[in-house]
């Protein structure tokens, strides 16, 4: 039975991964969560892993109190999560959101594991570090993000020279048809109402700004060697077509499925085989019509910002990611308005434009991340007092 470590078990992607793990008959040997000690303990009681880790040290005692009588080992803190990622297992599912996933991901990479990567920020902030280390260690990075998993499934590596472009689809989020004036008055509750997907708060806000799609363009750049100019985005409100690859002969190969994260997680867990997953079959008639639109970069400037950052270099994408995490957090705490999110990201990039573009090490990446967060925090304070 394939041994699996799951990082980020209590989040929305983590819950999908648990469904795929249980249905596929995998052995869950390591389990990590963020701050929900009770939720993580319940999962551990059900799957009985060899080790369960809570990232938040403050909840470690509560976790241990619940698991120790059952003979289940536990630990707490970021270093414990990183150690868990390096334990003996064939596959590591990284579903931790945000920059916090970087060191655990690298720990799994350095052990040569198969990494089922559901975190996009690792590649956005540090793709120039993660991917070369994966190659050197013989690790395999499989994309779980639904769009990149879709591209992966229809991407013909042996026909690389014949690929005209890859296309990521975007739902358009809850504000696809809203005016800028209406978006300026949008509340946290408005922004969290994604029309198709059930996701965590941060990624839901990223979808509403379309920053999520911009981050995916950067991620795609590191996963698929086609060049920036051949990565496109199209708005597809139904979220049935998740990605497409266009070839020189005019063929366009598309991946379609119901909008469920169980499907891409199961694909990566079973790859290169295919296994059953607890998802409903796709009904094309019921899903019709399928429509497509060009993205509006006036109302959603995040797409432009991510392309500009990608062209500027790895420091810029790192800055963009850090500033966005800070700005989204401020919006979720009602400190800034919805349109301030992209504005803060843009102003942070401008403020740190003097930085060098090379991120040769994890220390470089973390230094730039800290500086970007400091600047973005200052800018959120300015917005909140304006």
Q: What is the mean pLDDT of residues 49-78?
A: 97
User: What average pLDDT does range 49-61 have in this prediction?
Assistant: 97
Q: Which residues, at least 6 apart from 191, have a Cβ–Cβ distance to it below 8 Å?
A: 174, 175, 204, 205, 208, 331, 338
- CATH number belonging to domain 3-143: 3.40.50.720
Evaluate whether 365 touches 126 at the Cβ level (below 8 Å).
yes
pTM of the model: 0.92
Q: Which pLDDT score, from 0 to 100, does residue 384 have?
A: 59
**What is the rounded average pLDDT of the residues 86-92?**
97
CATH level 3 topology of 302-385? Rna Polymerase Sigma Factor; Chain: A (1.10.1740)
pLDDT in tens, 250-291: 999 999 999 999 999 999 999 999 999 999 999 999 999 999
- In tens, the pLDDT along 287-333 reads 999 999 999 999 999 999 999 999 998 899 999 999 999 999 999 99
Residue where the block lists tokens 């369960």: 52
Per-residue pLDDT tens over the stretch 333-383: 999 999 999 999 999 999 999 887 666 788 889 999 999 999 999 999 877
Asked whether the beta carbons of 268 and 149 are under 8 A apart, the reply is yes
| Confidence tier at 98 by pLDDT (50, 70, 90) | confident
Q: Identify the pLDDT of residue 361.
A: 84
Q: What is the mean pLDDT of the chain?
A: 94
pLDDT classification of 30: cutoffs 50, 70, 90: very high
Domain ranges of the chain: 3-143, 148-258, 302-385
Per-residue pLDDT tens digits for 136-147? 999 999 999 999
Q: How far apart are CA 344 and CA 352, in angstroms?
A: 12
Bond into 289 cis (ω within 30): yes
């Amino acid at each position: 039975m394939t041994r699996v470590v799951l990082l980020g078990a209590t989040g929305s992607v983590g819950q999908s991964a648990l469904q795929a793990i249980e249905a596929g008959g995998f052995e869950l040997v390591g389990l990590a969560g963020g701050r929900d000690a009770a939720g993580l303990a319940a999962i551990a009681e059900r799957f009985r892993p060899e080790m369960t880790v809570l990232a938040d040290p403050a909840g470690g005692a509560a976790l241990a109190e619940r698991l120790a009588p059952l003979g289940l080992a536990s630990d707490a803190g970021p270093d414990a999560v990183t150690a868990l990622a390096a334990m003996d297992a064939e596959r590591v599912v990284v579903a931790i959101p945000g920059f916090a996933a970087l060191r655990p991901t690298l720990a799994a990479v350095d052990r040569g594991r198969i990494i089922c990567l559901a975190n996009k920020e690792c590649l956005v902030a540090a793709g120039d570090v993660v991917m070369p280390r994966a190659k050197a260690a013989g690790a395999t990075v499989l994309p779980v993000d639904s769009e990149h998993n879709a591209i992966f499934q229809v991407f013909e590596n042996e026909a690389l020279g014949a690929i005209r472009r890859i296309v990521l689809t975007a739902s358009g989020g809850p504000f696809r048809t809203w005016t800028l004036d209406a978006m300026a008055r949008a509340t946290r509750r408005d922004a969290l109402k994604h029309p198709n997907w059930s996701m965590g708060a941060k990624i839901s806000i990223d979808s509403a700004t379309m920053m999520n799609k911009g981050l995916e363009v950067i991620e795609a750049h590191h996963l698929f060697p086609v060049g920036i100019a051949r990565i496109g985005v199209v708005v597809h409100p139904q979220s049935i077509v998740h990605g497409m690859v266009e070839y020189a002969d005019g063929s366009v190969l598309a991946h379609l499925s119901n909008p469920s994260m169980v499907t891409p997680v199961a694909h990566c867990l079973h790859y290169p085989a295919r296994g059953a997953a607890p998802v409903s079959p796709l009904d094309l008639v019921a899903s019709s019509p399928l429509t497509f639109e060009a993205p509006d970069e006036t109302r959603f400037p995040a797409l432009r910002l991510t392309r500009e950052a990608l062209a500027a270099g790895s420091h810029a994408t790192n800055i963009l990611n850090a500033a966005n995490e800070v700005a989204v957090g401020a919006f979720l705490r009602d400190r800034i308005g919805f349109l301030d999110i992209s504005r803060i990201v843009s102003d942070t990039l401008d403020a740190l434009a003097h930085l060098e573009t090379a991120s040769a090490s994890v220390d470089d990446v973390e230094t730039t991340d800290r500086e970007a967060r400091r600047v973005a925090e200052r800018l959120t304070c300015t917005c909140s007092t304006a």
